[in-house]
Structure 1
Amino acid sequence: MATTRPLRADAVRNRRKILDAAAQQIAGDGADVGMDEIAAAAGVAVGTLYRHFPTKTDLLGAVIAVYVSEVADDAEASLERAQSDGRAVDEVVGFLERVAESSAQNHAVKAAAQGLGIEGHGDHSDEVRAGAAITALLELGKTDGDVRPDITLDDIYLLMATAPTAQSATVRRRWLDLILPGITTTTA
């Protein structure tokens, strides 16, 4: 059985720099940004980029996976706050707002990924983590009487799919104001 050695510290740093640069470059310049431009923005040789990500599809898939992992972390942190001393409805609203804002920042990356036909949105375990945390958060809100009893995880995903991520922050805030009465029983 072959074992995989952990990445060296410099390789981990290079990978992180490449992912950050790719997200920024694609958000700024769109899907047509070249791998050499991404490598330059990351401060690494193009060969280093290709060692980590042999194709642009591999790179975009990794960028999306990082995003999904961050969303899962946020959902779990929201749940922890609601369980300890916060109101679940406030955490649901805050989570929706943060995801809409971060999706707006990553809109170009997601569009580029769709253009290249990347399936899914990253590590399935991160999607499961996010879904479990959001579901538990909704249940807490329902128990408190602040979240409508018929709201499900699928409803949250549906609403997030309609978020105006290509619009201004003002429009995204208005979107949130409009959808909240469909989720909550109170004003959050």
Structure 2
Amino acid sequence: MPQAKAPRADAVRNRKKILAAAGGLITTRGPEVGMDEIAAAAGVAVGTLYRHFPTKTDLVAAAVAEYVTQVADDAEATRARVTVGARALDELTAFLERVIEASVTDRAVKAAAQTLGAEPGDHADEERAGAAVTALIHAGQAAGDIHPDVTVDDIYLLFSTAPTDQPPVARTRWLTLVTTGLTTARPSAPAR
């Protein structure tokens, strides 16, 4: 069976420029932004955009997939730090904060994906992220820092309820509250 040829360097650069432009424009203007506007912002011809992404749904799905890849890479790097001795609860909290803050700017891309019905076709990155977060949870549970019934589904629930439309102070307060809910430490009873 013949091997597939690696994409040309200019094609890879164009794809990256298109994804960056699409992410920026969808974030600032919403999913109704035109493909010709995305091509112009990327500095490529409309035909080049359509060679890479035949429909806007394809383009948005690729932007969402890129975001998921970044989250998976971050989760694996976080797990690696725990493997060499970092405290799992601290690393999980920092990971949550990074994902929430990234979601503040990528919120429109994800909303556009839901509007257009775009979903990344390959779930390998979602599985990588899930495995890394599960390992973080287990490490925190083994250390006695994370409540024994916390699961990766709980972390995903936290992501879905994060106040990404609120100012930074509200997001920080939210993170403090949810982190407390993940831990085994319980507040002491009030004095009587």
Q: Which TM-score band applies after superposition, normalised by the shorter structure? A: over 0.9
Q: Which residue of 2 aligns with 1:62?
A: 62
Q: Which residue of 2 aligns with 1:20?
A: 20
Q: Give 1:105 shift.
A: 1.0
Q: Which residue of 2 aligns with 1:147?
A: 146
Residue pair 1:68, 1:122 contacting (<8 A) in 2 also:
no
Q: Which residue of 2 aligns with 1:179?
A: 178
Q: Give 1:167 shift.
A: 2.0
Unaligned stretches of 5+ in structure 1?
none
Summarize deviations over 1:31-55 as a string: whole Å, max 9, x none: 1111111111111111100000000
Unaligned stretches of 5+ in structure 2?
187-192
- One-letter identity of the residue aligned with 1:157: Y
Q: Residues 5, 78 of structure 1: CA spacing in aligned structure 2 closer, same or farther, 3 A cutoff?
A: same
**1-structure distance, mates of 2:14, 2:133:** 33
- One-letter identity of the residue aligned with 1:169: P
The yes-or-no answer on 1:85 pairing with 2:85 is yes
Summarize deviations over 1:18-76 as a string: whole Å, max 9, x none: 00111011001111111111111111111100000000000000000000000000000
Q: Choose 1 or 2 for highest CA Rg.
A: 2
- One-letter identity of the residue aligned with 2:42: A
Q: Which residue of 2 aligns with 1:109?
A: 109
Q: Which residue of 2 aligns with 1:138?
A: 137
**2-structure distance, mates of 1:46, 1:39:** 5
Q: Which residue of 2 aligns with 1:96?
A: 96
Q: 3-state DSSP class of the match of 2:113?
A: helix
- One-letter identity of the residue aligned with 1:78: T
The alignment of Structure 1 onto Structure 2 pairs a total of residues equal to 186
**2-structure distance, mates of 1:107, 1:158:** 16
**1-structure distance, mates of 2:121, 2:35:** 20
Query: Pairwise CA RMSD of aligned residues?
Result: 1.4
Consecutive aligned runs of 4 or more in structure 1 exceeding 6 Å deviation: none
Q: Which residue of 2 aligns with 1:163?
A: 162
Q: Which residue of 1 aligns with 2:32?
A: 32
**2-structure distance, mates of 1:129, 1:13:** 25
**1-structure distance, mates of 2:4, 2:52:** 15
**1-structure distance, mates of 2:167, 2:178:** 17
Q: 3-state DSSP class of the match of 2:23?
A: helix
Identity percentage over the alignment?
A: 61
The yes-or-no answer on 1:43 pairing with 2:43 is yes
The yes-or-no answer on 1:53 pairing with 2:53 is yes
- One-letter identity of the residue aligned with 2:19: L
**2-structure distance, mates of 1:63, 1:27:** 11
**2-structure distance, mates of 1:169, 1:47:** 40
- One-letter identity of the residue aligned with 1:61: A
The yes-or-no answer on 1:75 pairing with 2:84 is no
Q: 3-state DSSP class of the match of 1:27?
A: helix
